[in-house]
Structure 1
Amino acid sequence: MLTSVVDLVGEDLLSWLGGLAVGSLFGFFAQRSRFCLRAAAIEFSRGVSGQRLAVWLLTFAAALTGTQLFVALGWLDVSNARQLAQQGSISGALIGGVMFGCGMVLARGCASRLLVLSANGNLRALLSGLVFAVTAQAAWRGLLSPAREWLTGLWLVDGGPSRDIMSLLGGATPEKLAFSAVWLLAGFAFAFHSRLPPRLLWSALLTGVAVVAGWVFTYQLAEASFSPVTLKSLTFSGPSADVLMLVLNSPHVRLDFDLGIVPGVFLGSLVAAAWARELRLEGFSDGLGMRRYLIGAVLMGFGAMLAGGCAVGAGITGASVFALTAWIVLVGMWLGAGLTDLIVDRGLPRRASASPAVGDRGNA
């Protein structure tokens, strides 16, 4: 399908354009749907069946169901995806997931949400996103890499069937598709219960479709290319660090799918916010709030690299192929977010400058 396009523009440029397009799709509809794992986790921990939880469930279920539907139809093969084929870390997934969950509550947004809000003029999110990227790079190849490697090595799991959670339970593609459909029905049920407006419902579904589009595009590109192409979809920890190094180090790097994601999400969110007239500059109100954001960004940056992905990269993209470690990361994120909200936010006296309520717009 993509062979003629590869011949016309080249594999590297096409890969970058694909990342840009998929990122733009995600950024536009994530901005319109107010997609945010942090807000959904807080609603869940507080026992509230609100719209943020419904949006997250619909996005998650759309990515899960769409990916498994393409696999069932024979249009996608995810067996070579990094989340399944390579060696993983149970200890890294659990510890990193909890750290990321704690960090996203402190920073009032996960990595993808910070990027979306940065494009809307939120300077708090922009600074937090930069600190996240710096920390992610330090954890991957810099000063923090020895600590990450030690924690990762505590409990390893081989690639292959042992990383496929459904295979471990004796299931295959039909069971994966059926399980995904249950999540989708749950998403619609929560949307109905919370009276989610149709605009948010469709935007949430299309946010999840962006993950499916990433898988399908890279798979088709791998089929059309003569050189090896890594099967992947949306994630933000690695690409954020790569874009940072591109800006600081050298512009002469090979274009790929990951390098297109971050500018794509920024562009998509910018267009969505401009279309809805929601562009506005926002900054820090005090030093205490700034410290909170920065601590949260550091926890997310290290936690994402330790866990092998962020709230989207592991929590949705990895989960959509039923990677064992991704589901462990997801559980860790929800636990970390709930505990941090309980201790830090609900444990403090109510003040006028307290964190936004569960039902608000959820800006960082």
Structure 2
Amino acid sequence: MLTSFGILFGFLFGFFLKRSHYCIAGGLRDITLEKNISGLISVLLIIFIQAGIFFSLIKLGIMPAADYPNYSLIAMIIGGFVFGIGAVASSGCISTALVKVGDGRITGLITMLSFIITVSSVNNGLLSNITAPLQNMTVHQDTMAQTLQPFAIYIILAILVITFIAMSSTLKKNKPSFNVPYNYTGLRNIIFERRLDTLWAAVIIGIVAGFAFLSNYLAHDYGGFSITGPLSSWLTFLTSNGMSISWGMYFTVGIVLGSFVCSLGNGEFKLQGSDGKTLFKAFIGGILMGFGAGLAKGCLVSNGLVYTAMFSIQGWIALVSIFFGITCSSLLMFQIIPSHHLSYTNR
């Protein structure tokens, strides 16, 4: 019973991603491309609100301290970087792909399926011959959390104060000068349609993600939001017998359902195909993200949002690597290649 609560947390995550049109990878991309720091503020809000809840639960004795596995520096850097490239190619990370599945876009389905197949191949298939040696290189103990834990609450509070000040300033600067006319009234307008800034969505997601640790623990597991492992587990579940559905597996279904309900409520649900080029990019993006997430043992959500909130050094290394992957591929795709094309055609 408690295991199935994962679907509720996934529902809320998917609902508020869709409700605010928030793409985590897109926000990180815009830091460089558009000089817009809202994406950075959003990520910091999710991480440190979540961290405050996580370390408070440990401090209060409700949950035991986490056991941090060893990590490979090489695998984290390469895996994170490749994942970032894939997120740009598919126009969003794997969480965005699940949101797209929920609102009827075939590109999301293509990305999700290529991601699942690739992760499974990294874990147990042909690609493991490439990734396993990398995962056994430059292995280190993850001891940052143990070092910082006595000061964790003070660090979190200090960063949250600075982040909320930045959030307040950004909200004032981005306040719309006019009101967009709504299609609905009453409760439907409030729940599904009225403007929800991505920064407020990040606050809500951070709170939900923080209590996901408690829900996971009560379900006899340990961890928070997770997508990579649970998605590959669905493939195992469908192709073998005797495997039970985990909290994380329910969580991934919840993301799709949350997006579906939100898109129905605001009138945005539509079964939507795409052109061949976009579908191909979605397919390649899923492969790259699957390879990167399998190698780094986590995606932008699990490594970049959850492990960072747990003060895991591997999470921060992965997040920085994903950011550089997103930045380099975005500059190449949206600035360098287009500028060369223009200079060539103007000759």
Q: Return the offset for 1:192.
A: 3.7
Is the alpha carbon distance of 1:96 and 1:71 closer, same or farther for their aligned partners in structure 2, counting shifts above 3 Å? same
Paired residue for 2:174? 194
Matched position secondary structure for 1:346: helix
Structure-2 residue corresponding to 1:173? 152
- Greater Cα shift, 330-339 or 179-188: 179-188
Question: How far apart are residue 47 of structure 1 and its match?
Answer: 4.3
Displacement of 1:158 = 2.2
The separation in 2 between residues aligned to 1:117 and 1:101, in whole angstroms, is: 18
Instruction: Tell me how far apart the structure 1 counterparts of residues 271 and 306 of structure 2 sit (CA, whole Å).
Output: 31
Within 2, Cα distance between the matches of 1:292 and 1:37?
A: 19
Identity %: 25
Q: Which residue identity does 2:213 align to in structure 1?
A: W
Alignment of 1:105-184 (within 5 A): 105-159=88-142, 162-164=143-145, 167=147, 172-181=151-160, 182-184=162-164
Q: Which residue of 2 aligns with 1:237?
A: 228
2:307 & 2:150 partners in 1: Cα distance? 18
Specify the SS of the correspondent of 1:172: helix
Distance 2:158 2:129 in 1: 38
Amino acid at match of 1:272: C
1:14 corresponding residue in structure 2: 2
Task: Give yes or no for the alignment of 1:315 onto 2:298.
Answer: no
1:59 aligns with 2:56: no
Pick aligned residue for 1:302 from 280, 291, 301: 291
Verify: 1:43 aligned to 2:27, yes or no. Answer: no
Pick from 265, 280, 284: which aligns with 2:270?
Answer: 280
Which of residues 252, 259, 264 in structure 1 aligns to 2:249? 259
Counterpart residue number, 1:91: 74
Q: Which amino acid aligns with 1:266?
A: V
Aligned position for 1:220: 218
Q: Say if 1:87 and 1:158, in contact at 8 Å, map to a contact too.
A: yes
Residues 191 and 99 of structure 1: CA distance in aligned 2, closer, same or farther (over 3 Å): farther
CA pair 230-170 structure 1, distance change in 2 beyond 3 A:
closer
CA pair 308-179 structure 1, distance change in 2 beyond 3 A: farther
Contact 2:111 / 2:282 at 8 angstroms: preserved in 1?
A: yes
Conserved? CA contact 2:99–2:256, under 8 Å: yes
* Displacement of 1:51: 5.0
Per-residue Cα deviation, 1:266-316 (whole angstroms, up to 9, x for no partner): 111111111111101222223x33332222211100101111211111110
Is the 8 Å Cα contact of residues 61 and 187 (structure 1) preserved in structure 2?
Answer: no
Measure, in 1, the Cα distance between the counterparts of 2:144 and 2:152. 15
Q: What is the alpha-carbon distance in structure 2 between the residues aligned to residue 97 and residue 122 of structure 1?
A: 26
Partner of 1:206: 204
Q: 1:155 to 1:185 in 2, by over 3 A?
A: farther
Q: Is the 8 A contact 1:157 1:163 kept in 2?
A: no
Aligned to 2:179: none
Q: SS at 2:170's partner residue?
A: helix
The aligned counterpart of 1:354 is none
Deviation at 1:193, TM superposition (A): 3.5
1:193-246 Cα shifts (integer Å, max 9, x gaps): 43389722433222222211210112234xxxxxxx331111111111111222
Matched position secondary structure for 2:66: coil
Native 8 Å contact 2:20 2:195 kept in 1: no
1:58 and 1:148 map into 2 onto residues whose CA distance is: 33
1:91 match: secondary structure: helix
The answer (yes or no) to whether the contact 2:118–2:287 under 8 Å persists in 1 is: yes
Question: Which SS does the other structure have where 1:27 is aligned?
Answer: helix
Confirm or deny: 8 A CA contact 1:78 1:321 kept in the other structure. Answer: no
Partner of 2:225: helix, strand, or coil? coil
1:163: Cα distance to partner? 4.6
TM superposition shift of 1:129: 0.9
One-letter amino acid of the structure 1 residue matched with residue 223 of structure 2: K
Amino acid at match of 1:14: L
CA distance in 1 between counterparts of 2:52 and 2:20 reads 19
Q: Which residue of 2 aligns with 1:292?
A: 281
Alpha-carbon distance change, 78 to 115 in structure 1, aligned in 2, over 3 angstroms? farther
Q: Which residue pairs with 1:10 in the alignment? A: none
Where 2:316 maps in the other structure, the secondary structure is helix
TM-score (norm 1): 0.80
- Per the normalisation by structure 2, the TM-score is 0.84
Residue of structure 1 equivalent to 2:188: none
**Which residue identity lines up with residue 233 of structure 2 in the other structure?**
D
